Every structure is written in structure tokens, then in C-alpha cells.
């Protein structure tokens, strides 16, 4: 069955997916709101940047992140100057990479939900005496709850399956940065098909159940906005 | 309290440029064709049009000036949108509480219990909006706006999205609102029927400009305004109940220069009621007809005449100080030799009670 390393990898993967999803929900909500409501002419530039991970080979994203996070990159260099360590090959680095990698999967459902809501509910709340922040929390977020469910599940599930980005910036350090998808790869490389079967099967079921939940709650659901 | 508004909006294909004093009591209707800026004017008063320039003073509060605009959530208004727009994640009670909890109105509180009773919502409080009919939803929306205890209630065609039956269901509620709560109602409508029913005062808008303002009685009887044209031209009059004839079931309703006899159940003595007289139900004779079935005949002076199409003419008649409109054929007008200033008799065939 599962080796000790596999359990570690699973634990790191779940931790990574949870932290990434939480961070994305926190920074993604205001961005999604702005994208849904703004009439700025060049909004499409931001939208394109956020959607990039949908089409970009993960290795490309990983390559640039490696450079940025490494000791000579702008972020890694800054971290070192502040007395920390370079972020490449660390769990923090993995989180940063995953946040970029899974960003469209969280922002797009939120943006769609905020957009579909229209301006009316917020106007009504304003005439009823609710301040902008107050109406955002009492009206916009509850009305967009199906969007939040979709965003959470997709962000989580997508981070679970991360491979290329992790390999590039996390290395493959068992017990530190080795995630489950890479563990499967290693098992296959070593011709340990039983282990690979066990992990793959569990991931398959987990992914299926999460998506089933989303579809059960949201009748009109699309991964990518058309 | 007075409401003074001076608004200016320029959006290229549409502009609004108005300067008005809105009565601080009664029902004021903003009336005009689609796209004339009625809704925009109402939204500007609520602070929902960020590109609106100008000034707005409500009582002794400045809501908008050149460099300042009070945000909508700080304006003491109740706003009823065209669609009920209830919050779908809250039930009826929670919808009603949403504004009431956030209201910091210093005005005498409107009791929510009373509003629920008046709008007949008691049995709906636990329901979610999607479990209500369109008429019920709109009643909840009206109650929700009232629960804020606003300084004025703004209604944007609250009946437009409803069918005839639902309209008949809500009209009486709207009618009683003003009488019960004594707050000014500002009502946007493009239905002259609703206006005739509800409004005391009228603001006529045309392409973002004010065409005329005045009492409903006055504006409905003016021949220089588009209201006097079309097949449903009517006069609206407020009269006082002064008596009742039991034998023939007739109410006697006094207006400034005479009284109407109107069939129906007895109305409460001394109360004011609104009457509607269709122009096509008024005929003109040169002599007083005594052998006629028509009950309501008054001496009148022809004040103004305008052609309606090529075969008909609309005549404005003054009965003392009150004006009513008559729609007759051009041939009759010519045969009778009607001219402005002529003394005639107005025969009113049907008088309808509006309230």
C-alpha cells in the first residue's frame, strides 16, 4: 500500500492545495469583483494575464517562477537581502507557484458569479442604507455563493494535480516539496505499479467526488468562461 | 420640507437638464414617454447616477452640490424598483428587516407591523422570494422600502412588470400608503391610468426636459399638452361627498362650482373622492335640456378648442373655476357654431369614481 513517503507527499499536497485555495479566495475575491464591475478600457489585459495559466505549459510558468524566486531573481533576491532564504525548492515557493497556476480557476467562477448578479441587488441594498463594504458582505458574497463553491473546489482540485510547476520550482524533495502527482511519477519510473495504482485511484475518486459536488449544487457550470 | 432639484446629465445621445421643486406632500407623478428620463431623474434623486451634476436639497439637508454628493446609503429614501428585486438569499421577514436594521432615520418610525398589515404580508413572512407571485413580491418590495422610515418614497413604475390583475391588486395599497404614512411619494409612470388614480401633482418630462408641472386636475385639462390627445382623454376632479339618495342610490359630490350625482354605494360623508370624466362622455348643448336622461348638466363657457385628428375636436369647458374636456365631432362644433367664449351647457353622461 502507501509508503511513508507517499503519506508525506499526500499530506504536503493537501496542505498545499488548502493554503493555495485560501490565499486565492482572499486575493481573488476583490480582483474578481473589480473585473466583473469595472468598465476600464484595458481590463482585457488583466483578464488575459489571469487566464494565461489555462493555456501556458506549466513548465514555462515554472521556469519563470524559478528564475524569479531563485537567489538571483527579483523575489528570491529580495528575500535573501532581507535575511531570508531563496524561495526556490521550498514549500513557500510551491505555494507561490500554485497561486499563479490555479488563479484562473478561482477568479473566473467568482467573476462570472459577480457579473451574473448584475448591479441591481447592490443598488437596492444601498437604498436600504447599507454601506459599500456592508453590502458586499451581506449581499454580494451570499448571492455569489455558488461561484464561491465552484472556485473553492476547482482551485483545490487543480492544485492537487499540479505537476510541471512543482517539478520546476519545488524540485522533488521527499518529505519537503514532493507532491502526490510526482510521487506517482516516481513510482512508475521505479516500476512500482501497485503503489501508483493505489494513489492514482484515490486521486481519481477524490477529484470525481469534488466535481460531482460542484455539479450537484450548480446546474449551470462551466470550467472556462466562453 | 421642500425638495429642490437641479440636475444635469450629458450622455451624448441622451441629456437631462431640469430644475424643479417637488411638493413635499402627496403623490407626485413623473410622467412621460419611454426614454424621456423619468427613471434617470428618480435615480438621480436616490444618488444612483454617479455622472449626475447639479444640486439637490431636501428640507434643510443638502444631498448634492457642486463638489459633493451624499452617497445613496446615507439618503433617507425608500426606493421601489420596477422589478421587485428582493434579495433571493433572504426570506420575506429578513428582506423587510434588511433596511429597517440599517435605518438611522430621526423621523417618526413607520411601524413594520402596521406596514405588514397594510400590505397584507403576514402569511408570507417565512417564504423565500421565489415562492411568491409577482404581485406579492412587489408588495414586499414596497414594505421593505417603507420600513426604512424614509423622508420620501421613490417608486419606479412599480406596476409595469405586473399583469392587469396584479395591478388592480396593488393600486389600492399604493393609494392607502400616502394617506397612512404622510410621506411624499414620487412615482414614475408612463400609464395615464395610474397617474389619474394616484397622483396629486404631475411632472411632465419630454426628452430630458420638463414640459409642464402642476396639479393633475390642471394638467389633464390643458389642451396645449400631449395629455389632451388620444382616445382616452379624460379630466380628473377631486370632489367632496355631501349627501346620498337612498332611493336611487346616488352620491352627491360637490366640486368648486356645483355637484355631481354619481350612482354607487354610499360614500362616507365629508370625505374627498377622485372622479374621472372621459372627454367622449361629455356633450355640449346650446340650451339647457330638461327632458333628458342625463343627470349632470352644468352651464359652462368654452375656454379653448383643438382639433383631434380630422373629424373630431376637443373642447375645454369652464364650469365656474373647474375645467373639463369634451370630445365632439367637428361637424357638431360647426353646426352649433361653437367659438371660444360662448356660453353653453355641458352634459356629463358618465362620471367614474377613481378612489
Work out whether the CA dihedral B104, B110, B115, B116 comes out positive or negative.
positive
Number of domains in chain A: 1
Residues paired with residue B80 on neighbouring β-strands, in sequence order: B155
Three-state DSSP class for A198?
Answer: helix
Chain A residues with CB under 8 Å of a chain B CB are 120-121, 123-132, 134-135, 138-139, 142-143, 145
C-alpha distances in Å from residue B75, one per residue of B71, B138, B141, B174, B234: 7, 22, 18, 22, 37
Could you report the per-residue pLDDT of A100-137, keeping only the tens digit for each?
999 999 999 999 999 999 999 999 999 999 999 999 99
pLDDT above 70 (res B132): yes
Residue in chain A nearest B104 by alpha carbon: A129
In a domain, A52, yes or no: no
In a domain, A139, yes or no: yes
pLDDT score for B126? 93
CATH number at residue A197: 1.10.3720.10
* Mutation choice for A interface testing from B42, B45, B79, B87 by most A CBs within 10 A: B87
Size of chain A, expressed as the number of residues it contains: 226
Residue with C-alpha cell 355637484? B259
CB contact at 8 A, B342 and B263: no
CA distance A166 to A180: 11
Residue A123 and residue B145: Cβ atoms within 8 Å?
no
SS3 content of chain B, % helix, strand, coil (to 5): 25, 35, 35
B127: cell is 417564504
In a domain, A159, yes or no: yes
Which positions in chain B touch A128 (Cβ < 8 Å)? 73, 98-99, 102, 144-145, 148
Rounded percentage of chain A residues whose pLDDT exceeds 70? 96
Backbone angles phi, psi at A14, to 5 degrees: -65, -40
Selection from B282, B276, B345 nearest residue B312 by Cα: B282
Determine the average pLDDT of the residues in B3-28. 89
Size of chain B, expressed as the number of residues it contains: 355
Determine the average pLDDT of the residues in B214-225. 87
Range of the domain at A96: 4-38+80-225
Backbone angles phi, psi at B296, to 5 degrees: -100, 100
Residue A128 and residue B145: Cβ atoms within 8 Å?
yes
Residue B102 and residue A124: Cβ atoms within 8 Å?
no
Residues A212/A218/A222/A225 CA torsion (nearest 10 deg): -150
Average pLDDT taken over every residue of chain B: 88
Predicted TM-score (pTM) of the model is 0.82
In a domain, A176, yes or no: yes
Determine the average pLDDT of the residues in B234-245. 91
Which positions in chain B touch A134 (Cβ < 8 Å)? 102
In a domain, A71, yes or no: no
pLDDT above 50 (res A224): no
pLDDT score for A183? 87
Could you report the per-residue pLDDT of B265-323, keeping only the tens digit for each?
888 888 888 899 999 999 999 988 888 899 999 999 999 999 888 899 999 999 988 99
In a domain, A62, yes or no: no
Which positions in chain A touch B130 (Cβ < 8 Å)? none
In a domain, A44, yes or no: no
CA distance B316 to A135: 53
Residue B113 exposed, middle or buried by CB count within 10 Å (0-12, 13-18, 19+):
exposed
In a domain, A74, yes or no: no
Residue with C-alpha cell 388614480? B197
pLDDT score for B107? 60
A224: cell is 472556462
CA distance B99 to B89: 15
Could you report the per-residue pLDDT of B96-129, keeping only the tens digit for each?
999 888 887 666 567 788 888 888 889 999 999 9
CB contact at 8 A, B279 and B325: yes
Backbone angles phi, psi at B252, to 5 degrees: -105, 120
pLDDT above 60 (res B352): yes
Give the pLDDT band (50/70/90) at residue A223: very low
Residue A67 exposed, middle or buried by CB count within 10 Å (0-12, 13-18, 19+):
middle
Amino acid at each position: 500500500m502507501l509508503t511513508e513517503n507517499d503519506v508525506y507527499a499526500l499530506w504536503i499536497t493537501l496542505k498545499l492545495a488548502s493554503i493555495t485555495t485560501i490565499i486565492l479566495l482572499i486575493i481573488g475575491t476583490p480582483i474578481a469583483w473589480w473585473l466583473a464591475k469595472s468598465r476600464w478600457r484595458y481590463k482585457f489585459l488583466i483578464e488575459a494575464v489571469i487566464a494565461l495559466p489555462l493555456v501556458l505549459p506549466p513548465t514555462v510558468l515554472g521556469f519563470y517562477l524559478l528564475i524569479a524566486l531563485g537567489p538571483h531573481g527579483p523575489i528570491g533576491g529580495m528575500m535573501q537581502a532581507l535575511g531570508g532564504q531563496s524561495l526556490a525548492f521550498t514549500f513557500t515557493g510551491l505555494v507561490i507557484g500554485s497561486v499563479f497556476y490555479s488563479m484562473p480557476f478561482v477568479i473566473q467562477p467568482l467573476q462570472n458569479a459577480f457579473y451574473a448578479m448584475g448591479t441591481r441587488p447592490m443598488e437596492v441594498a444601498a437604498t436600504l442604507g447599507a454601506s459599500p463594504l456592508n453590502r458586499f458582505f451581506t449581499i454580494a458574497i451570499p448571492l455569489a455563493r455558488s461561484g464561491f463553491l465552484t472556485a473553492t473546489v476547482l482551485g483545490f482540485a487543480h492544485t492537487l494535480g499540479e505537476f510541471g510547476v512543482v517539478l520546476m520550482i519545488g524540485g522533488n524533495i521527499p518529505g519537503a516539496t514532493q507532491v502526490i502527482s510526482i510521487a506517482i511519477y516516481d513510482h512508475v519510473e521505479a516500476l512500482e505499479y501497485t503503489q501508483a495504482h493505489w494513489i492514482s485511484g484515490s486521486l481519481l475518486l477524490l477529484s470525481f467526488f469534488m466535481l460531482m459536488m460542484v455539479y450537484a449544487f450548480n446546474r449551470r457550470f462551466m470550467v472556462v468562461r466562453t | 420640507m421642500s425638495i429642490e432639484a437641479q440636475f444635469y446629465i450629458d450622455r451624448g445621445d441622451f441629456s437631462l437638464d431640469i430644475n424643479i421643486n417637488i411638493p413635499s406632500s402627496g403623490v407626485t407623478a413623473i410622467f412621460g414617454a419611454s426614454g424621456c428620463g423619468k427613471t434617470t431623474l428618480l435615480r438621480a434623486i436616490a444618488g444612483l447616477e454617479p455622472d449626475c451634476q447639479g444640486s439637490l436639497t431636501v428640507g434643510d439637508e443638502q444631498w448634492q452640490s457642486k463638489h459633493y454628493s451624499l452617497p445613496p446609503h446615507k439618503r433617507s429614501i425608500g426606493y421601489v424598483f420596477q422589478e421587485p428585486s428582493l434579495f433571493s438569499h433572504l426570506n420575506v421577514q429578513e428582506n423587510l428587516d434588511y433596511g429597517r436594521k440599517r435605518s438611522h432615520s430621526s423621523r417618526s418610525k413607520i411601524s413594520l407591523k402596521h406596514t405588514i398589515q397594510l400590505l397584507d404580508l403576514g402569511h408570507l413572512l417565512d417564504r423565500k422570494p421565489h415562492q411568491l407571485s409577482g404581485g406579492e413580491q412587489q408588495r414586499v418590495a414596497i414594505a421593505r422600502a417603507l420600513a426604512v422610515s424614509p423622508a420620501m418614497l421613490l417608486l419606479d413604475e412599480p406596476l409595469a412588470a405586473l399583469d392587469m390583475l396584479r395591478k388592480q391588486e396593488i393600486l389600492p395599497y399604493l393609494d392607502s400608503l400616502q394617506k397612512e404614512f404622510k410621506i411624499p411619494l414620487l412615482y414614475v409612470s408612463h400609464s395615464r391610468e395610474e397617474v389619474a388614480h394616484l397622483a396629486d401633482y404631475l411632472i411632465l418630462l419630454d426628452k430630458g426636459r420638463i414640459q409642464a408641472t402642476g396639479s393633475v386636475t390642471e394638467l389633464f385639462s390643458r389642451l396645449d399638452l400631449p395629455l389632451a390627445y388620444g382616445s382616452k382623454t379624460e379630466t380628473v376632479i377631486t370632489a367632496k361627498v355631501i349627501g346620498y339618495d337612498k332611493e336611487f342610490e346616488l352620491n352627491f359630490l360637490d366640486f368648486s362650482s356645483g355637484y355631481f350625482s354619481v350612482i354607487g354605494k354610499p360614500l362616507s360623508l365629508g370625505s374627498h373622492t377622485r372622479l374621472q370624466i372621459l372627454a367622449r362622455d361629455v356633450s355640449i348643448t346650446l340650451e339647457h335640456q330638461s327632458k333628458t336622461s342625463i343627470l349632470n348638466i352644468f352651464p359652462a363657457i368654452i375656454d379653448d378648442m383643438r382639433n383631434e385628428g380630422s373629424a373630431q375636436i376637443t373642447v375645454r369647458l369652464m364650469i365656474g373655476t373647474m375645467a373639463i374636456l369634451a370630445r365632439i365631432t367637428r361637424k357638431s362644433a360647426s353646426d352649433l357654431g361653437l367659438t371660444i367664449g360662448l356660453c353653453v351647457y355641458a352634459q356629463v353622461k358618465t362620471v367614474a369614481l377613481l378612489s
